[in-house]
C-alpha cells in the first residue's frame, strides 16, 4: 500500500481535546477512512496548530481526498513518500 504525506492548513487552528470527546472524534476519522481503505498512521502539528502533516497509507491520492472530505478535513497537498531510515546505513 502506498504511503502519503498530507499537508493541511487550519485557519482557526486544529484543536482535539485530550479527553474522551477527542478520542471519539479520532475514532470517527479512523472509521470514515476505513470506508476508502485509508489508514491514518500519525500526524505532526505545528506549534501554533495551524498546519498538520499527516502520514497515511492508502490506495491512491483520490482515496485520501475522499476520506478527508468524509471527515470534513482540508487538504493542501498530498505527496507519495517512502521511508528513509538513517540507521539502515549502519
Instruction: Name residues of the chain where pLDDT drops below 70.
Output: none
Sheet of strand 51-57, all strands in order from the earlier edge strand to the far edge: 39-45, 51-57, 3-9, 77-81
Q: Look at strands 3-9 and 51-57 and give their pairing.
A: antiparallel
Q: In the prediction, which pLDDT does 87 show?
A: 86
Domain ranges of the chain: 3-89
Q: In the prediction, which pLDDT does 17 show?
A: 87
Q: In the prediction, which pLDDT does 88 show?
A: 80
Sign of CA dihedral 65, 71, 76, 81: negative
Q: In the prediction, which pLDDT does 3 show?
A: 98
Rounded Cα–Cα distance for residues 27 and 47 (Å): 24
Class at the top of the CATH hierarchy for domain 3-89: alpha beta
Interacting residues of 10 by C-beta distance below 8 A, sequence separation 6+: 49, 50, 51, 52, 74
Q: In the prediction, which pLDDT does 86 show?
A: 87
Q: In the prediction, which pLDDT does 85 show?
A: 87
Q: In the prediction, which pLDDT does 46 show?
A: 97
Amino acid at each position: 500500500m502506498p504511503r502519503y504525506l498530507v499537508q493541511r492548513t487550519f485557519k482557526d487552528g486544529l484543536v482535539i481535546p485530550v479527553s474522551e470527546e477527542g478520542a471519539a472524534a479520532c475514532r470517527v476519522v479512523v472509521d470514515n477512512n476505513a470506508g476508502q481503505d485509508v489508514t491514518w498512521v500519525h500526524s505532526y502539528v505545528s506549534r501554533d496548530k495551524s498546519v498538520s502533516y499527516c502520514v497515511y497509507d492508502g490506495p491512491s491520492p483520490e482515496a485520501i481526498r475522499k476520506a478527508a472530505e468524509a471527515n470534513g478535513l482540508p487538504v493542501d497537498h498530498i505527496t507519495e513518500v517512502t521511508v528513509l531510515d538513517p540507521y539502515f546505513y549502519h
